[in-house]
Amino acid sequence: MTKSICLTFMQKRSIISKEASIIGTITSMILVLNGPNLNLLGTREPDRYGLESLEQTVQKLTQLAEKQGFELKSFQSNAEHELVEKIQKAVVDKVEFILLNPAAFTHSSVALRDALLAVAVPFIEIHLSNIYAREEFRHKSYFSDIAAGVVAGFGTLGYELALRAAITKLQG
């Protein structure tokens, strides 16, 4: 009779980290995923979302991650299936943490939720605006209950706060 051993993501990471200390250092990968319309950041409703572009935000995050010894990759899409595919590929790509701004998919995407549950990579949900201070339909998130944390209402600074939290958790 064979026994199955199921490990949580953090248990797997602990084993990998112990092996890495014997072999040498490894760089942990953090993936930043952005949903629909975030390609317009900096020009779309700047009074609500600010003047900083997505490219500028990602550049700052990349520098911060590298200073802490982490690799950061970023992807934005207006297409739900492309985001699902990135999430599904996260394990193969050795992503250890996801920073997710699902944007409008926050309130509708069971597909993204299921993908996140399937890969079991920890993630932080990010929103530029405070979704609870906006229209009623924006108050429901398909991700908050399965996220490691939620950052909302701090504009692009929210990405940095989420990155710092992810790094702290990974260094754990």
Query: Which residues form the catalytic set?
Result: 49, 127
Q: Which residues contact 140 (CB under 8 A, 6 or more apart)?
A: 107
Helix (H, G, I), strand (E, B) or coil at 95: strand
What gap in Å lies between CA 6 and CA 94, rounded to an integer? 18
What gap in Å lies between CA 145 and CA 39, rounded to an integer? 26
| Helix intervals (H) in the chain | 9-23, 46-49, 54-67, 80-89, 110-119, 157-171
Contact predicate 109/86, CB 8 Å: no
Contact predicate 39/58, CB 8 Å: no
